[in-house]
Amino acid sequence: MIFPATTAFYAALFALLYVGLSAWVVATRVSADVLHGDGGDDELEKRIRAQGNFGEYVPLALLLVTLLEAGGSSSTLVRTLLPILLVARILHPVGMLAPKNSLQQYVCRGGGIIATFLVIAVAAVALLLR
């Protein structure tokens, strides 16, 4: 088995991004004086969901790409999927805070979602075809 060095590097970047999203939520909780839930604060709710969404999708995507890399899959595939996932996960929270039905919301949030799903689907299909 090959050590998945490329995925490990990106996993570290994703971990730092997750810490940033978590700090973003905590800062909003402190400023809104909300210890539990969202306290009815719409911005806090969006930030909580952006962080939660990251935690729901990134681990699965990283696991799939790690399996591809460790199994000796094409480095081109791995080096294509991971940057797409990183950009997608940066765009998503930007789109979460964008005005409703704005171009920014569609491009950032929608684009982030579609790109994340694409990475997961491509990695899953590539694993099934191995």
Model's pTM, two decimal places?
Answer: 0.92
End-to-end Cα spacing for the chain: 15
The 8-class DSSP code of residue 36 comes to: S
CATH classification at residue 99: 1.20.120.550
Which pLDDT does position 2 carry in this prediction?
A: 85
Q: Residues 78, 64: contact at Cβ < 8 Å?
A: no
% of residues, the chain, pLDDT over 70? 99
> Could you give the number of structural domains in the chain?
1
Give the Cβ contact number of residue 20 at 10 Å.
14
pLDDT in tens, 52-107: 999 999 999 999 999 999 999 999 999 999 999 999 999 999 998 899 999 999 99
Averaged pLDDT score across all residues of the chain: 95
Give the Cβ contact number of residue 116 at 10 Å.
24
Which pLDDT does position 93 carry in this prediction?
A: 93
- When pLDDT is cut at 50, 70 and 90, the band that residue 14 belongs to is very high
> Does the pLDDT at position 120 exceed 90?
yes
Name the residue range of residue 40's domain.
5-129
Residues 66-101, buried b or exposed e (16+ Cβ, 10 A)? bbbbeeebeeeebeebbeebbebbebbbbbbbbeee
Distance CA 64, CA 102 (A): 33
- Across the range 3-29, mean pLDDT stands at 96
% of residues, the chain, pLDDT over 90? 87
| Cβ contacts of 9 within 8 Å, gap of 6 or more | none
